[in-house]
């Protein structure tokens, strides 16, 4: 009897998005995430809790006898990727097209729990479903499920992760890149751009085959006309740009990958162009100042902010945190990349920013920048002599009159002293203590 030739296994690590892998390495190196993850993982295992259990209402296990075709699809996907995991398949009755996966790495035989929503199973074509399964396997293979344990489990906390704030910003940027790496594994299983794009578009729009035409011409027009126009004109289209980056990344990968696909080596050399397209797409997603004047304000705050915090012999964390927070809250997602550590270069940059601001910025924009620099100067205590000299010199260069500079500094001091009212804090404590004892 002739047996069907077994398909060659593919090495998904060879097509992982390089910048995503680099972000994970940075999180490991700078934030020691391995230790936190190991503890959180151990705790979850002890509780028998799967990370996606909070996200899905009620999951139903699907046995191979009940859903043989589905089990065959997932098993062959695992086989093609060389994964020897025990499989537990679940569904969740949901109108959304979605999936979640995690791996129990503590079990004797690593056990994959994969949950596909009922709509995903029913609505997606065979190849689209295979792409979605591959996407989820990709997340697990690259250990994204472990990194996601760093998301903040407590409610009512401002931060989204348990990381300090620069680490959290890095983590949030990494999460976008993680989708690209996962999509590539989905593509590796199907080598079918239209199926991948179909799964992504159906999941994002909630529309099904009855209303979607998913050929390359339709996807092109969606990518090149609909998304850019909507992103420019319609509020509430925040997810559309990321959708567009994912589709473009997939399209580029599909065009540049040699056929038959070979991923047996280390990093595939033909990926360079695709990685560049992804990097360009993702850089368009990051926040940047809307005008040239605001951009000059941002650079002035970054460079003059460093000058100000250097006045003290000891650089306090509170001060650098203030600089970073101001830059992040008002201008950019990557404030750390604006910091210049060469003092001569910094002085030149400050002069250039001042020239630009005097040429194009309004008086209120310049005063706003000076106010933010004053906030930095008083972040660690009273305004010192060197700080006040810098603030008044900058004000003069920005052509802000002395009386207005004075009013700006007074405003900053007032805001700082008003930010915490000891009288109100004590009153809140008294009310809180009373509410625990009062019984009606």
Minimum CB separation of residue 359 from Zn ion in Å reads 45
Site map (CB under 5 A) of Zn ion, residues 376-395, x = contact: --------------------
274 contacts 249 by C-beta, under 8 angstroms: yes
- In the bound state with Zn ion, the residue whose beta carbon lies nearer, of 138 and 335, is 138
Give the residue with the Cβ less far from Zn ion, 183 or 303: 183
Whole-number minimum distance, CB 19 to Zn ion, in Å?
Answer: 16
Q: How far is the CB of 3 from Zn ion (least distance, A)?
A: 35
* CA angle (141, 143, 149) in 5-degree steps: 145
Q: Taking CB under 5 A as the criterion, which residues in 176-195 touch Zn ion?
A: 179, 182
321 to 172, 306, 313, 388, 412: CA distances (angstroms): 18, 11, 17, 20, 17
Shortest approach of Zn ion to residue 179 CB, angstroms? Answer: 5
Taking the complex as a whole, how short is the minimal distance between the CB of residue 97 and Zn ion, in angstroms? 12
Compute how many residues bind Zn ion; rule: CB under 5 A: 2
x/- map, 412-431, Zn ion, by CB under 5 A: --------------------
The mark string for 144-183 relative to Zn ion (x by CB under 5 A, - otherwise) is -----------------------------------x--x-
**CB of residue 117 vs Zn ion: minimum separation in angstroms?**
13
Q: Among residues 253 and 301, whose Cβ is nearest to Zn ion?
A: 253
Cα gap 285→402, rounded to integer Å:
40
Nearer to Zn ion, 123 or 179 (CB): 179
The tokens for 156 are 């009512």
Given the DSSP bridges, would you call strands 86-92 and 99-104 parallel, antiparallel or unpaired? unpaired
Site residues for Zn ion, window 25-84 (CB under 5 A)?
A: none
> Reading across the β-sheet that carries 60-62, which strands appear in turn?
60-62, 86-92, 111-117, 99-104
Least distance (Å) between residue 182 CB and Zn ion: 5
- Residue nearest to Zn ion as judged by C-beta position: 182
Of 171, 176, 183, 173, the C-alpha closest to 249 is 183
Nearer to Zn ion, 200 or 408 (CB): 200
Distances, alpha carbon 146 to alpha carbons 78, 383, 398, in Å:
19, 45, 50
- Of residues 20 and 179, the one with the C-beta less far from Zn ion: 179
Instruction: Please list the alpha-helical segments (H only) found in 17-125.
Output: 18-31, 33-47, 68-80, 118-123
Q: Is 99 exposed, middle or buried (0-12, 13-18, 19+ CB in 10 A)?
A: buried
Q: Which is nearer to Zn ion, 148 or 251 (CB)?
A: 148
| Dihedral sign, Cα of residue 310, residue 315, residue 318, residue 323 | positive
Q: Which residues bind Zn ion (CB under 5 A)?
A: 179, 182
């Amino acid at each position: 009897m002739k047996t069907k030739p077994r398909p060659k296994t593919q090495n998904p690590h060879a097509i992982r998005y390089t910048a995503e892998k680099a972000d994970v390495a940075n999180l490991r190196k700078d934030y020691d995430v391995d230790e936190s993850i190991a503890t959180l993982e151990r705790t979850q295992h002890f509780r028998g809790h799967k990370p996606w259990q909070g996200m899905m209402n009620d999951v139903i296990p699907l046995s191979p006898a009940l859903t043989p075709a589905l089990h065959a699809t997932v098993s062959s996907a695992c086989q093609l990727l060389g994964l020897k995991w025990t499989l537990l398949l679940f569904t969740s009755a949901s109108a959304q097209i979605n999936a979640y996966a995690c791996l129990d790495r503590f079990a004797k035989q690593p056990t994959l729990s994969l949950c596909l929503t009922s709509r995903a199973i029913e609505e997606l074509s065979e190849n689209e479903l295979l792409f979605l399964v591959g996407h989820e396997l990709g997340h697990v293979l690259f250990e994204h499920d472990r990194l996601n344990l760093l998301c903040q489990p407590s409610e009512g906390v401002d931060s989204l992760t348990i990381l300090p704030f620069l680490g959290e910003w890095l983590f949030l940027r990494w999460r976008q890149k993680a989708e690209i790496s996962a999509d590539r594994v989905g593509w590796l299983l199907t080598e079918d751009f239209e199926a991948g794009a179909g799964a992504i578009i159906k999941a994002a729009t909630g529309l099904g085959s009855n209303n979607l035409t998913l050929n390359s011409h339709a996807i092109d027009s969606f990518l090149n006309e609909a998304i850019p126009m909507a992103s420019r004109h319609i509020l509430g289209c925040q997810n559309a740009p990321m959708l567009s980056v994912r589709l473009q990344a997939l399209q580029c990968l599909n065009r540049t990958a040699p056929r038959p696909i070979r991923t047996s080596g280390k990093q595939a050399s033909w990926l360079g162009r695709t990685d560049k397209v992804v990097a360009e797409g993702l850089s368009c997603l990051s926040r940047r100042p809307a005008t040239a004047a605001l951009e000059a304000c941002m650079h002035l705050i970054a460079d003059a902010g460093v000058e100000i915090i250097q006045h003290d012999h000891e650089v306090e964390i509170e001060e650098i945190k203030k600089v970073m927070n101001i830059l992040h809250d008002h201008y950019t997602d990557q404030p750390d990349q604006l910091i210049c550590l060469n003092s001569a270069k910094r002085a030149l940059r400050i002069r250039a920013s001042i020239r630009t601001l005097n040429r194009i910025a309004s008086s209120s924009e310049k005063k706003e920048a000076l106010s933010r620099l004053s906030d930095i100067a008083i972040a660690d205590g009273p305004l010192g002599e060197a700080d006040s000299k810098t603030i008044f010199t900058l004000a003069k260069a920005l052509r802000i009159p002395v009386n207005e500079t004075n009013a700006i500094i007074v405003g900053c001091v007032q805001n700082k002293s008003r930010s915490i009212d000891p009288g109100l804090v004590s009153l809140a404590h008294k009310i809180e203590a009373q509410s625990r004892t009062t019984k009606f």
